[in-house]
Structure 1
Amino acid sequence: MTKTLTFAVMHFTVAFSVAYLITGSFLVGGLVATIEPAINTVAYYFHEKFWQRMTPEKQASLRLGLRSVFDTYALKSS
């Protein structure tokens, strides 16, 4: 959980900085920096839980499936 919280602090700082630099508004920067990282932090926590439950066999199968999708896409976009 500590890793997740430190990630949230870093993410908040980056989100605020980018939003503020783009808009020049502390309000917009604050809103973006509060909402977006909060949602991403929760998503990150569950993403980590998901990967902890993945067996090596399932990971290999997922890699093969993704490779197939990206290979097909690369051929179509050439």
Structure 2
Amino acid sequence: MTELIRTNLPTLKKTASYYVVHVTVAALVAYAVTGNFLLAITLSLLEPTVQAFAFFFHEKAWQRWGGRRAAVPKTLSTARA
């Protein structure tokens, strides 16, 4: 588990930062719409928590896809040479 955290530390930090921003914005919007502080806090914690997990896995997939995509032109240029 420690190795998983160490390997993914930059992505985990970025995810945590994104989470804080998302919760803050969601709470402000939910309060503006509902006028209810408790409901705003509940809504603002539920949706961004799910989004934080989705973002982490999206980021990992994006890194993997981007790495393969960057390798393709090198392969093509080598094959033509």
Which whole-Å CA distance do the structure 1 matches of 2:13 and 2:24 have between them?
17
Identity of counterpart residues, as a percentage?
A: 42
Q: TM-score, normalised by structure 2?
A: 0.67
Q: TM-score, normalised by structure 1?
A: 0.70
Question: 5+ residue gaps in structure 2?
Answer: 1-11, 71-81
Q: What is the CA-CA distance between 1:27 and the residue it aligns to?
A: 1.1
Where does residue 56 of structure 1 map in the other structure? 69
Deviation string, structure 1 residues 3-57 (Cα, Å, up to 9, x no partner): 1101000000000000000000011101111100000000000000111111217
Which whole-Å CA distance do the structure 1 matches of 2:61 and 2:47 have between them?
21
From the CA coordinates, give the structure whose radius of gyration is larger. 2
Question: 5+ residue gaps in structure 1?
Answer: 58-78
RMSD: 1.0
Which whole-Å CA distance do the structure 2 matches of 1:52 and 1:6 have between them?
18
Structure 1 runs of 4+ with >6 Å offset = none
Which whole-Å CA distance do the structure 1 matches of 2:13 and 2:62 have between them?
18
